[in-house]
């Protein structure tokens, strides 16, 4: 095959064509070995050797049977709990067929089917009658339940080029969210992890908080990052699994709490890189994939790690994925709480003790208002009972919502690499909400391919196929009920929330205006309408007054108000109005300068952040740096804890060595010295 290379002297049009075209996947035999860049593959094996040689973390290789056993099997005191169906799969398929055809069959509760993990994989299939231009072979998508009978030989899974599985058991044979039953582990995906990032990650797993650390909960004796139970080297990144001691029931009411825990764990593990420090990932924006996401399995293959030099084409296949099992015990939510609260202060508001107890025991959470089906039937009547399975109605939203989001996407406001697919999916959801024709949506979505593809830096180019898949949300009947909070978390773009306390806008504004007028009356202020809603200008909030004050300071000998008005472009009447007030309130204050500075010295203590003085008063700042003022300069050292305990850190305070600083911080002597610790 003729290979197309991009030379450094290529024309701009050729470079643009090379950038925009779709990458090709070539065989090894089709490329000259000297033209292959295998640096990513060599780095992959370097990471494997690094993990193998870790002296601080006792690890052992984890193969596919061990991986599935570690994730899904538990010893709850009565023997192993095996979430693998041994006899009921055929019976379940028969039951499902009978239900779909409205044939007589047992109820679901009477059947008591077992829950199973499900693997999604691709396999080569041959078209019986390929159309013109179609390849005879294609990649077929398949789902398959992992059964207990597969333990002896799981060749159908181990030999797959691509196979993923989520740490969730399902009922039935598909991985739809509504069929999810139990969550066995929280999986964290870190992209852009090299050997340096791996070193930082392991160092933070083995570096403990100092004994005096109490923000916001005691972290004494705990590492900066909790040790995962399974570490998977997926290629360019890592997958970290935190397995739960008790599987967590995935009832609809529980999902929001489990998603909050997953987001908080991402914040614990992710240390984005800075200009001076290496993080646990090279990416600035790491996307939380959530609890339902599936990941590549050990002993299957990574993405292609070899490329053609000077091109965007890939060569060959990936390498087998390797995994390691640590000695960390299964976690409970209570075990993870210190890290969750420390990383995300909003989690403590959600994870109340009663909620944690219900999550860990597999309950539906406390809901006193929840009615059984029979209670609801009696309360709401037979008409409600008969109509409850009918398609749900929906409101048609004003198309300004769709136009607002489309305009935001065209300007790429807040759009990040890795979130572009979800931005198109949100556009499809808004189109469904606003009753926008599909053809108009399709045209608008495809127009975003070029501006979105310009954001490509690390990940694959943004192509028409990505848009085609994202537009499926338009046909999804649930997309019209996707909440702004869900779309915001998927796109990583914050939505401004309008709080009206469930009132219509006209009633909400009427009540707000009544409260405003009542408050102004109680404060002894005149009515809001007296100034047509405008604020009363004062020396503190008037921009003109500030400009005039600066001009007076720069021209201390001048009293020419007309000259001031001409130079500032302000009306002379306005200059005259503020001139008099400035003379009365600011210039006369110079007489009491020394007294005011003495008062400031008593009330304020000079504090430095990174050895730079920060003060709230200009008078105090000028007096501090005036050698004749007689004010004592006190510098309070600031010790950033993350920088002090970072790998290979040599952070020190003037007058102390690095080792002495560590000793002062860990023994609590910093309190006697008056140091300021930053966490």
659 pLDDT tier (thresholds 50, 70, 90) = confident
Dihedral over alpha carbons 344, 350, 353, 358 (to 10 degrees): -120
Say how far apart CA 324 and CA 239 lie, in whole Å: 11
Q: Which residue has the higher pLDDT, 351 or 633?
A: 351
Long-range Cβ contact pairs of 200-203 (< 8 A, separation 24 or more) = 200/271, 200/278, 200/279, 200/280, 200/646, 200/647, 201/225, 201/238, 201/269, 201/280, 202/54, 202/56, 202/57, 203/646, 203/647
Contacts of 505 (CB under 8 A, 6+ apart): none
Lowest mean pLDDT among 117-131, 217-231, 553-567, 587-601: 587-601
Contact call for residues 188 and 202 (beta carbons, < 8 A):
no
Amino acid 108: pLDDT: 55
Say how far apart CA 324 and CA 54 lie, in whole Å: 11
Q: Does pLDDT of 382 surpass 50?
A: yes
Helix (H, G, I), strand (E, B) or coil at 566: helix
- How does strand 612-613 pair with strand 676-678? unpaired
Say how far apart CA 431 and CA 437 lie, in whole Å: 8
Q: Does pLDDT of 2 surpass 50?
A: no
Helix (H, G, I), strand (E, B) or coil at 466: helix
Amino acid 654: pLDDT: 67
Say how far apart CA 249 and CA 565 lie, in whole Å: 72
Q: Does pLDDT of 95 surpass 50?
A: yes
Amino acid 309: pLDDT: 80
Half-sphere exposure of 186 (CA within 13 A, CB side): 30
Helix or strand run (H / E) with residue 186? strand 180-190
* Selection from 305, 374, 386 nearest residue 47 by Cα: 305
Q: Does pLDDT of 393 surpass 80?
A: no
Tokens 């296949």 -> residue: 317
String of b and e for 173-201 (b: at least 16 CB within 10 Å)?
Answer: eebeeebbbbbbbbbbbbbbbbeebbbbb
Contact call for residues 656 and 662 (beta carbons, < 8 A):
no
Q: Which residue has the higher pLDDT, 111 or 543?
A: 543
CB atoms within 10 A of CB 522: 8
Max Cα distance, the chain (Å): 102
Say how far apart CA 374 and CA 379 lie, in whole Å: 9
Which residues make beta-bridge pairs with 240? 188, 231
* Selection from 589, 479, 489 nearest residue 262 by Cα: 489
Contacts of 605 (CB under 8 A, 6+ apart): 634, 636
- For the chain, give the percent of residues with pLDDT over 70: 76
- How does strand 80-81 pair with strand 608-609? unpaired
Say how far apart CA 195 and CA 172 lie, in whole Å: 41
Contacts of 14 (CB under 8 A, 6+ apart): 6
* Selection from 427, 505, 413 nearest residue 471 by Cα: 427
431 pLDDT tier (thresholds 50, 70, 90) = very high
Contact call for residues 268 and 225 (beta carbons, < 8 A):
yes
> What's the mean per-residue pLDDT of the chain?
76
Q: Could you report the per-residue pLDDT of 295-333, keeping only the tens digit for each?
A: 998 888 888 888 888 777 888 788 888 899 888 888 988
- Structure-block tokens of residue 400: 């300004």
Say how far apart CA 314 and CA 38 lie, in whole Å: 10
Q: Does pLDDT of 79 surpass 60?
A: no
Q: Could you report the per-residue pLDDT of 104-129, keeping only the tens digit for each?
A: 776 655 555 667 888 888 877 777 77
Amino acid 104: pLDDT: 78
* Selection from 232, 226, 256 nearest residue 244 by Cα: 226
Amino acid 632: pLDDT: 47
Amino acid 633: pLDDT: 47
Q: How deeply is 293 buried, as exposed, middle or buried, from its count of CB atoms within 10 A (0-12, 13-18, 19+)?
A: middle
Contacts of 602 (CB under 8 A, 6+ apart): none
Contact call for residues 402 and 381 (beta carbons, < 8 A):
no
409 pLDDT tier (thresholds 50, 70, 90) = very high
Q: What are the phi and psi torsion angles at 578 (to 5°)? A: -80, -25
Say how far apart CA 411 and CA 224 lie, in whole Å: 39
Q: Does pLDDT of 582 surpass 60?
A: yes
CA distances in angstroms from 46 to 58, 195, 226, 267, listed in the order given: 18, 7, 24, 26
- Cα Rg of the chain, angstroms: 32
Please report, for the chain, the start and end positions of each structural domain, with discontinuous segments joined by +.
Answer: 42-84+115-361, 400-491
Q: Could you report the per-residue pLDDT of 461-480, keeping only the tens digit for each?
A: 888 888 988 999 998 888 88
Q: Does pLDDT of 642 surpass 70?
A: no
DSSP string, 382-440: HHHHHHTTSPPP-PPPPTHHHHHHHHHHHTTTT--TT-HHHHHHHHHHHHHHTT--HHH
Half-sphere exposure of 461 (CA within 13 A, CB side): 18
pTM beyond 0.75, yes or no: no
């Amino acid at each position: 095959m003729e290979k197309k290379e991009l030379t450094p002297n290529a024309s701009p049009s050729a470079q643009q064509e090379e950038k925009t075209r779709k990458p090709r996947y070539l065989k090894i035999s089709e490329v000259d070995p000297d033209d292959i860049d295998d640096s990513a593959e060599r780095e992959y094996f370097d990471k494997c050797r690094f993990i193998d040689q870790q002296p601080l973390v006792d690890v052992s290789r984890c193969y596919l049977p061990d991986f599935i056993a570690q994730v899904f099997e538990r010893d709850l005191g009565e023997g192993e709990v095996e979430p693998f169906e041994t006899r009921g799969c055929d019976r379940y398929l028969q039951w499902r067929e009978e239900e779909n055809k409205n044939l007589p069959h047992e109820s679901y509760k009477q059947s008591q089917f077992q829950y199973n993990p499900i693997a999604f994989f691709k396999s080569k299939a041959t078209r019986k009658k390929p159309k013109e231009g179609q390849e005879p072979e294609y990649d077929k998508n398949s789902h398959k339940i992992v059964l207990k009978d597969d333990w002896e030989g799981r060749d159908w899974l181990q030999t797959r080029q691509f196979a993923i599985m989520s740490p969730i058991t399902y009922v039935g044979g598909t991985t739809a969210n509504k069929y999810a039953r139990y969550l066995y582990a929280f999986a964290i995906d870190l992209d852009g992890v090299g050997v340096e990032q791996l070193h930082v990650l392991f160092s933070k797993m083995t570096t403990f908080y100092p004994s005096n650390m109490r923000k916001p909960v005691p972290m004494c004796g705990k590492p900066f990052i909790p040790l995962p139970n399974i570490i998977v080297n997926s290629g360019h990144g890592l997958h970290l699994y935190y397995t739960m001691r008790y599987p967590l029931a995935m009832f609809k009411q529980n999902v929001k709490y489990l998603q909050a825990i997953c987001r908080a764990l991402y914040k614990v593990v992710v240390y984005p890189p800075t200009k001076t420090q290496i993080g646990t990932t090279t990416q600035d924006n790491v996307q939380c994939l959530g609890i339902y996401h599936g990941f590549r399995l050990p002993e299957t293959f990574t993405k292609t790690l070899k490329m053609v030099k000077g091109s965007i084409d890939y060569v060959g296949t990936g390498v087998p994925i390797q995994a390691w099992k640590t000695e960390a015990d299964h976690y409970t939510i209570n075990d993870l709480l210190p890290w969750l609260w420390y990383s995300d202060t909003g989690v403590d508001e959600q994870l109340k003790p009663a909620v944690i107890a219900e999550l860990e025991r597999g309950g539906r959470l406390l809901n006193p208002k929840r009615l059984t089906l029979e209670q609801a039937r009696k309360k709401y009547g037979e008409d409600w009972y008969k109509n409850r399975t009918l398609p749900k109605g929906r409101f048609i939203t004003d198309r300004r919502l769709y136009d607002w989001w489309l305009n935001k996407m065209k300007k790429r406001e807040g759009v990040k690499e890795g979130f572009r697919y979800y931005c198109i999916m949100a556009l499809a959801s808004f189109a469904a909400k606003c009753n926008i024709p599909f053809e108009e949506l399709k045209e608008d979505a495809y127009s975003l391919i070029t501006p979105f593809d310009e954001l490509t830096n690390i990940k694959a180019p943004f192509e028409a196929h990505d848009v085609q898949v994202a537009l499926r949300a338009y046909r999804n009947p649930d997309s019209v009920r996707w909440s702004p909070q869900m779309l915001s978390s998927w796109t990583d773009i914050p939505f401004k929330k309008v709080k009206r306390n469930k009132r219509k806008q006209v009633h909400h504004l009427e009540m707000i205006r009544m409260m405003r007028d009542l408050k102004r009356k109680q404060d002894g202020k005149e009515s809001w309408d007296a100034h047509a809603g405008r604020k009363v200008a004062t020396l503190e909030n008037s921009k003109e007054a500030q400009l005039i004050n600066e001009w007076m300071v720069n021209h201390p000998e001048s009293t020419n108000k007309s000259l001031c008005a001409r130079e500032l472009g302000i009306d002379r009447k306005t200059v005259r109005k503020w001139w008099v007030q400035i003379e009365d309130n600011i210039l006369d204050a110079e007489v009491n300068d020394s007294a005011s500075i003495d008062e400031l010295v008593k009330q304020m203590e000079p504090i430095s952040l990174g050895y730079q003085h920060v003060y709230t008063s200009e008078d105090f700042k000028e007096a501090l740096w005036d050698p004749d003022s007689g004010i004592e300069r006190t510098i309070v050292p600031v010790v950033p804890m993350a920088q002090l305990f970072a790998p290979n850190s040599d952070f020190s305070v003037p007058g102390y060595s690095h080792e002495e600083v560590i000793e002062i911080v860990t023994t609590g002597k910093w309190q006697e010295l008056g140091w300021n610790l930053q966490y």
